[in-house]
Structure 1
Amino acid sequence: MAVENLVEALQTLNADDALRARFNKQQWLTLVGFLQQHTLRSGDVLIRFRDMDRGMYFLESGTLQVYVPDSAPVRRPVAILRPGSVVGEPSLFGETPRMAQVEAMSPCTVWLLTGPRFEELSARQPSLGIEFLRAVGGVMAERMRANLERGLPVA
């Protein structure tokens, strides 16, 4: 079942910027109930640089590349994401333009959590929402630290 594949990927990702939510299996399944599954082909754009959409993605399978477009055709690489990674998480915190572009390097399955669905989750399950925000904040802090160490701009 795809939901179980996503939960396993999230729980087993061994990366500094992994989402480290302290959820039991039932809490993971509750969270997944607020997500929408999407499939991507290799080369598909998941997040467009400077778009204003409000949602974050969970990568179940495949590989995503994150980069900042410079003058065409130059791309400033930021990261390559593996299954279990999250991407686009800053959009849950404010209505600001996307800071990078994200494309599928291979066929991918991703799950979308929109801003309104996150607000609904938080209203129905406040403790789950708070723990999720703590974990997402941890991802953002780790990515900011890594970018600062590499000399990449934070904004």
Structure 2
Amino acid sequence: MKTTAEIANLFDETKWGKDFARQEVEIIAKYLSMHAYSKGEEIFRQGDKERYMAFITKGRVDIIKESHDCLEKIVVTLSPRTHFGEMAFIDEEPRSASAIARDDVNMLVLSRESFEHIAATHPAIGMKMLRNIARMISQRLRMTTGKLVYTRE
């Protein structure tokens, strides 16, 4: 079991960590839990209803989308220091894709309930976290929109 200081150090090494002062990181770390998955293990399945987001500290995670004809396609492979799961975390809808451990994976998990507690007790940190999530969703939407551009005849 990792100490809060060890969890804070792991979170500080993620891409999110750079956006927070060390004191803020230590507060956030109190609400994070550490999870480990073996290579090939399912983290969550498309359609699941868990409400958390995760920060990868070790290993890689494949995000897989199932199509209407039941074929699965890797949408992206995420590396350490990145995060995933923010859509279901925010909109409370079922997971839009599956997450599978490509390697042995360690990740920090922030549940929706823990986030709500952070937001209630440390509103400035909660607001900063929401801005990060909004920025990430906006960037992904821009990338998707760019891929959908077509030439007019």
TM-score, normalization by structure 2: 0.85
**Does the alignment pair 1:34 with 2:39?**
no
**Are the equivalent residues in 2 in contact too, given 1:21–1:131 (CA < 8 A)?**
no
Q: For 2:10, which of 5, 10, 25 is the aligned residue?
A: 5
Q: 2 CA distance for matches of 1:47 and 1:145?
A: 25
Q: 2 CA distance for matches of 1:44 and 1:133?
A: 29
Q: SS state of the match for residue 5, structure 1?
A: helix
**Are the equivalent residues in 1 in contact too, given 2:45–2:95 (CA < 8 A)?**
yes
**Are the equivalent residues in 2 in contact too, given 1:6–1:59 (CA < 8 A)?**
no
Aligned residues: 142
Partner letter of residue 142 of structure 2?
R
**Does the alignment pair 1:56 with 2:61?**
no
Alignment gaps of 5+ in structure 2: 1-5, 149-153
Q: SS state of the match for residue 93, structure 1?
A: helix
Which residue pairs with 2:91 in the alignment? 94
Alignment gaps of 5+ in structure 1: 12-18
Which residue pairs with 2:3 in the alignment? none
Q: 2 CA distance for matches of 1:50 and 1:98?
A: 5
> What aligned pairs does 1:105-144 form with structure 2 within 5 A after superposition?
105-144=102-141
Answer with 1 or 2: which has the greater Rg. Answer: 2
**After TM superposition, where is structure 1 displaced by more than 2 Å over at least 4 residues in a row?**
19-22, 147-151
> How much has 1:21 moved relative to structure 2?
6.2
> How much has 1:2 moved relative to structure 2?
4.9
CA gap of 1:119–1:92, structure 2 versus 1, over 3 A, is same
- After superposition, the C-alpha distances for 1:135-154 in whole angstroms (9 at most, x for unaligned) are 11111111122223234xxx
Partner letter of residue 34 of structure 1?
Y
Which is bigger in relative contact order (C-alpha 8 A, separation at least 6)? Answer: 1
Q: For 1:43, which of 40, 43, 51 is the aligned residue?
A: 40
Identical counterparts, % of pairs: 23
Q: CA RMSD in A?
A: 1.7
> How much has 1:51 moved relative to structure 2?
0.8
**Are the equivalent residues in 2 in contact too, given 1:20–1:135 (CA < 8 A)?**
no
